[in-house]
Amino acid sequence: MTAVHVLILGPPGAGKGTQSSRIAERFDVEHVTTGDALRGNKDMDISDMDTEYDTPREYMEAGDLVPDAVVNAIVEEALQSADGYVLDGYPRNMEQADELTDMTDLDVILSLSVSRDELVDRLTGRRVCDDCGTNFHVEFDQPEDDGICDDCGGELIQREDDNEASVNNRLDVFDDNTAPVIDQYRDDEGFVEVDGEQTPDEVWADIEAAVENRT
Ligand code: AP5
């Protein structure tokens, strides 16, 4: 059997990145994440696309969506070279969802649900390792040494879009653009809603069972 194709959906801060890393390791698939891909290419010149801003950076710092053409190209290239994958951060609107349908089939569609108040707390308190990308939280998941990554010793930083204004805009953008995409997937055979307010290990237990069930 070919390796599993997993889509993970949910609002900013729902735990998509945290759980995707576990899925990638446990099921030996690639973690395809538009957020990380865009952060690695923040200053890419997109002025020829006749978009509002000339680089992804401005969209991301404001918490707005980067233009579809940029993101679609990133995902198409990544999926072409991946056998199995967990796709995180895409699709975020109906147009991207239509593109994805043309690109690939999906075995499992996970939707993490978390309340807005909890999301704001998680995102404004998140700290990320500048070297290996591991997530921590100032309250819920503290490192052993303040400001230092437990895994690799790298420096922990705050993402530029994790301030309160950007977070609130990202959550509004999610409600307006991405929530309807999730609703559209609800009738699919592989759709599974997961309570994302449980502890990370409890969320993982539900996800592992859901993916195992479809492989
Ligand atoms: P992206 O990087 O995808 O950010 P996001 O969707 O806003 O999601 P996050 O990474 O913030 O959250 P997450 O769900 O991964 O949660 P995490 O596991 O880190 O996108 C950033 C920007 O890029 C967008 O705003 C947009 O501009 C652009 N972009 C990306 N994709 C695009 C697209 N398709 N189209 C257009 N533009 C696009 O967890 C969060 C925190 O909570 C951590 O501190 C973690 O330790 C903690 N935590 C996790 N799980 C739990 C738990 N169960 N209990 C308690 N704490 C927990």
In a domain, 153, yes or no: yes
Comparing C-alpha atoms, which of 205, 196, 206 is closest to residue 11? 196
When pLDDT is averaged across residues 149-175 and rounded to a whole number, the result is 96
Range of 162's domain?
5-29+83-213
In a domain, 47, yes or no: no
pLDDT at 1: 53
pLDDT category of residue 148 using cuts at 50, 70 and 90: very high
The catalytic residue among 92, 127, 186, 214 is: 92
In a domain, 151, yes or no: yes
In a domain, 51, yes or no: no
Buried b / exposed e across 109-137, counting CB within 10 Å, b at 16+?
A: bbbbebeeeebbbbbbbbbbbeeebbbbe
The rounded mean pLDDT for the chain is: 95
pLDDT of residue 114 exceeding 90, the answer is yes
In a domain, 65, yes or no: no
Total domains, the chain: 1
When pLDDT is averaged across residues 93-121 and rounded to a whole number, the result is 97
pLDDT category of residue 111 using cuts at 50, 70 and 90: very high
pTM for this predicted structure: 0.95
The CATH number covering residue 161 comes to 3.40.50.300
d(CA 207, ligand 1 centre) in Å: 17
